[in-house]
Structure 1
Amino acid sequence: MNSQAAVDTKGINEKKRISLRWKWTIGAAIALFLTYTIFSTILFITFQQFMIDNEQQAVRNVMVNLTERFGQNFYDLTEEDVEEVLNQHELYLTPETPILEESQNQRSTPLRASQSSIIIRVYNSEEELLYRTNEVDIDFEAKETLQIDTVEEGPNGEALSAITPVYSFLNNEKIGYVQVVNTLSSYHDLIKSVFGAILLTGVIALLFSGVIGYIIAIFFLQPIRRLTEAMHIVKKDPESHQRIDVGDGKDELTELANAYNAMLNRMQRNIEQQKQFVEDVSHELRTPVAVVEGHMKLLNRWGKDDPVVLDESLSASLQEIERMKSLVQEMLDLSRAEQVDIHYKDERTSVRELVNQTYNNFQLVHPDFTFILDDDLSEDNYVNIYRNHLEQILIILLDNAVKYSTNEKTVHLSASNNGPNIQIAVQDFGEGMTEEDTEKIFHRFYRVDKARSRYKGGNGLGLAIAKELIEGYKGEIWAESVLNHGSIFRVELPKLKDQENQTSDETRKHTKNK
């Protein structure tokens, strides 16, 4: 039941799932459209304010012009005064209607045809209307100073109304009022046109941003699609060599693809190592298990009553069991050596100190051998390796040199700088190897002389372990040999950064001075 529920839930999730491509498309479209909307709104408001300021300035200019003309009268303004002043200035504009005569004649006013949205009213000091250029439903309210107000007018909505008293320049007495009304008809028409254009452009921008977002989504999601396809292939066949072609990109998606390829390589390498481990163990343990089984069957049949056979069988069985223990331990060491870059990536070891320590230890353990040390390191150079691992490598190399030495029991150990690397060399003067053997000597369970190697107690894993350890720390190991004249095994490891070495030098010098 639980399995069925899980399948149903998975099916529901797949049905409800929205493609990342569409999410990206919608998100990009909304982001671009919002950006356009914000900028368009800012520009529209700025343009609107600019236009209003211009209209207010136009009203103010007309108002100043009129007050200067009417201010030249001495007494209160009359209809005749207004007409006389306006006629004297020869400004030809829209039809006007005097308040005292319902005349339909064309008269001259201080407005041009292009400014037909401006309406003028002139009042005497008693606030009686003397003159108007056109009808407009806006009230008049006397003001003591020039004031421009925004008022509601007609179907267009807002209009500008400016009212100011008129003072005579001759006696400084108030002689009337002037009201200038700007219906803003041209302004409203222009704003409507601009707003319509913005809406139309907004719709186009929305469609355009959607298309651009979709194209961007296809382009940027292509590595993810390739990653998904590669995952499906590997899911069906874990040993598949399908990888993502990352191309020349240097973005985060390329980094993701590289990380996936590296993860897949590591996973498959671990699988291969696991298979190799099982195959090697099963192959190598087959012989000692068969030997122990044969002796046990022999004892079970009749050997347990024969002290000689009993002693021989027990001794042989214990010897094979001891060899099996050694083999399993070496296999475990080899397995761990393949993962040093995971567990020991930040380790650092002084080469000079460890080489000297190992050299002294082998002198004590093998007093019948002559060990020669050439230390060409002028300072304590550090390498990125776990101390026990470097010691294990040196022990493997020195132990092989001792085992395969013949009459000349001399082992030469050296450590020197080789550019950005530290090189350690172990030389013996024993059996040596052919060129073919030097290429295969680092393979698992490979022995130059299987009979003699087994007699000497080797399982053929020491050099394989050393090679795995060295390569795990980004180093190299190789052999140079001449048959019957001995062998040289060389190890190179990259030195740590110069600044770390300099820090160590300064610390050492400071301690020495003390």
Structure 2
Amino acid sequence: MNKLRHGLARLSIRWKMTFWAAALMCILFLAYNAIQYIVINNWMFGRTESAALKSAEEIRSYFEIEKVTEESVGSIGPFIDSLNSSNQMIRILNRGGNPVLTVSDRLPEDWIAPQRADSTVSYTAWHGDDHLLVIRRPVDSASFEGTIEIVNNLESSDKLSKMLMAVMLAGFLVAFLLSGLGGIFLSRKLLGPIRELTVTMNNIKRKGLQERVAVPNGKDELGNLANVFNELMNQLEQAFHNQQQFVADASHELRTPISIIEGHISLLHRWGKNNPDILEESLQVSVQELGRLKGIVNELLELTRAEALRSDGEVCATPVIEAVNYAVRNFELLHPEFTFQCELESAEGAVVNFKHHHLEQVLLIVLDNAVKYSMEHKEISVSAAIEGGSIRIAVRDRGIGIPEEDLPHVFQRFYRADKSRSREQGGTGLGLAIAERLMRGHGGAITIASKPGEGTTVTLNIPVLAH
């Protein structure tokens, strides 16, 4: 059994399906045929036994009606012969168990020894290869006391049983063959998409992430598997592309301040140590670039934390208007040349499930961009309103705007549009990426609408916890 189990474990799924399909069909067919064989055999035996018992009862009744005596038993031979059937013997035994009349059709008398019976008995016996049914029925009439003995050769029934067994065995072999072929067909049909999936995986290993599985017709489990695999590969390819882009962008952003610092240190090493002007300038530039480098590293850490943000089930009830007012007041102090218009009355009392410092961080990023890219029109409006089960916070500036082709990319790390995110305004290109991931981690969403030269509107939609 262990060898069979280990052998099956080494088979492919295709041959396992074929084996188990054939085994199941064979077991079902064997069970059905066995039941059918037993039922038919019992039915044929019951028919033969019933016929013999009926004949014995008719003979007993005839003895009572005709008042047959032991001396006149020989006269009822024609009647007994009319009741006898092929391969059957009928004997009339007297009180002592001795035969007084025997009628037989091709069944020798010595196959079964005569025996007196006090009650009706029925049993089977064997004489060599011949299967016999023996019926004994006592007769106790006013004129005769003895036993009716009927012996029936079950040769015809046995032949029919053997023929039935042969037919069933032939049917079993045919069923085994057909179930095996059916298992092979079904395994090919069902495992085709899996084979395609395996081939595609091998192609991905050799050629790259651009390979996809051909989705079979229909919406069965295998079709869903192919769709899920293709979607997973799309996400993986996009993530791999984003990772490559991130590494390239991060390397570029970090290389610039490092190169500048390296250049000034080399300058100092060569001849700037004794030149106060060169020393002062190099130190100032180095400190400035180190600050920029530190800002990039800090924002990369913030971005990593934002991407790893998951809901832990903790409810953080944060009043929205309080957070907005706090952020706006800070910017009014930092940028007194700007005018901030707030319309927050319709959202008074709104509470969201958002960590307070994360919501302030998102608002600071959005307001900082609004200030940074507003050149001539130094007016920024902030509004909040309840819409359905969410609060909508909109920050609108009248700055340079974002070109339409750049809008889909503004949430990518280090992305800079030519006009809206140029290096002259400062920044690392990570702010909106951090804001988008913080919003997504808290179940919210951030959208941007903009037209070049007319300004930009950033909208935050957050599910309301209470109002």
TM-score normalised per structure 2: 0.83
CA distance in structure 2 between the partners assigned to 1:160 and 1:305 by the alignment: 131
The structural deviation recorded for 1:387 is 7.2
Whether 2:206 is the aligned partner of 1:236: answer yes
Distance, in Å, in 1 between the alignment partners of 2:122 and 2:282 is 123
Amino acid at match of 1:361: Y
Contact between 2:318 and 2:351, CA under 8 Å: does it hold in 1? Answer: no
Residue of 298, 307, 310 corresponding to 1:344: 310
The secondary structure found in structure 1 opposite 2:151 is strand
Is the contact made by 2:272 and 2:278 (CA closer than 8 Å) also made in structure 1?
yes
Task: Quote the residue 1:6 is aligned against.
Answer: none
Between the aligned partners of 1:436 and 1:389, the Cα distance in structure 2 is 29
- Contact kept? 2:95, 2:116, Cα under 8 Å: no
For 2:73, the aligned partner's letter is V
Shift of 1:27: 2.0
Give, in angstroms, the shift of residue 133 of structure 1: 1.9
Tell me the amino acid that sits aligned with residue 62 of structure 1: S
Deviations for 1:28-72, whole angstroms, at most 9, x for unmatched residues? 111111111111111111221222222221121111111111233
Determine if contact 2:77/2:101 at 8 Å carries over to the other structure. no
2:135 counterpart residue number: 162
Match 1:227 to one of 183, 197, 200? 197
* Aligned residue pair count: 448
- Which 5+ residue runs of structure 1 have no aligned equivalent? 1-15, 92-107, 496-500, 509-514
1:421 and 1:30, CA in 2 relative to 1: closer, same or farther beyond 3 A? farther
> Aligned pair in 2 of structure 1 residues 195, 328: CA closer, same or farther (>3 Å)?
same
The answer to whether the aligner puts 1:109 opposite 2:74 as a matched pair is: no
**Does residue 1:52 correspond to 2:45, yes or no?**
yes
**Structure 1 counterpart of 2:397:** 428
Query: Counterpart in 1 of 2:118?
Result: 144
* Range with bigger deviation, 286-295 or 467-476: 467-476
The answer to whether 1:85 aligns with 2:76 is yes
Is the 2:311–2:441 contact (alpha carbons within 8 Å) kept by the matching residues of 1? no
Q: Kindly tell me: are residues 436 and 152 of structure 1, through their superposed partners in 2, closer, same or farther at Cα, counting changes over 3 Å?
A: closer
Matched, 1:184 2:175: no
Please say if 1:362 is aligned against 2:327: yes
Distance 1:482 1:155, change over 3 A: closer
Q: Using the TM superposition, give the Cα deviation of residue 484 of structure 1 relative to its aligned residue in structure 2, in angstroms.
A: 5.0
Deviation at 1:377, TM superposition (A): 5.7
Q: CA deviation at 1:362?
A: 1.0
Q: Which amino acid aligns with 2:169?
A: L
Q: 1:330 to 1:141 in 2, by over 3 A?
A: same
1:121 equivalent in alignment to 2:91? yes
Following superposition, the deviation at residue 143 of structure 1 comes to 1.7
Q: Give me the whole-angstrom Cα distance separating, in 2, the residues matched to 1:386 and 1:48.
A: 81
Give the counterpart of 2:318 among 324, 346, 353: 353
- Aligned partners of 1:67 and 1:166 also within 8 Å: yes
The structure-2 alpha-carbon separation of the partners of 1:333 and 1:222, relative to structure 1 and needing over 3 Å to count, comes to farther
Q: Who is 2:173 aligned against?
A: 203
CA contact (8 A) 2:137 2:147 kept: yes
- 1:146-195 per-residue CA deviation (whole Å, 9 max, x = no partner) reads 111122234133x2211121011xx3x76111101122122111111111
Query: Could you say which residue in structure 2 is the equivalent of 1:13?
Result: none
Q: Tell me, in whole angstroms, the C-alpha distance in 2 between the residues paired with 1:361 and 1:442.
A: 25
- Pair 1:395 & 2:364 matched: yes
Inter-CA distance 229–308: structure 2 relative to 1 (3 Å threshold): same
Conserved 8 A contact 1:77-1:125? no
Aligned partner of residue 65 in structure 2, secondary structure = coil
Gaps of 5+ in 2: 1-8
Q: Determine the C-alpha separation between the residues in 2 that align with 1:441 and 1:249.
A: 39
* Contact in 2 for aligned 1:277/1:331 (Cα 8 Å): no
Cα contact 2:377–2:399 (8 A) shared by 1 = yes
Q: Using the TM superposition, give the Cα deviation of residue 311 of structure 1 relative to its aligned residue in structure 2, in angstroms.
A: 3.0
Residue type of the partner of 2:75? E
Aligned to 1:417: 387
What CA distance in whole angstroms lies between the structure 2 residues aligned with 1:377 and 1:32? 69
Given that 1:441 and 1:448 are in contact with CA atoms closer than 8 Å, whether structure 2 keeps it comes out as no
* Alpha-carbon distance in structure 2 between the residues aligned to 1:123 and 1:315: 138
Deviation at 1:315, TM superposition (A): 2.2
Partner of 1:30: 23
- Farther-moved stretch of structure 1 (183-192 vs 148-157): 148-157
Letter in 1 for 2:48: E
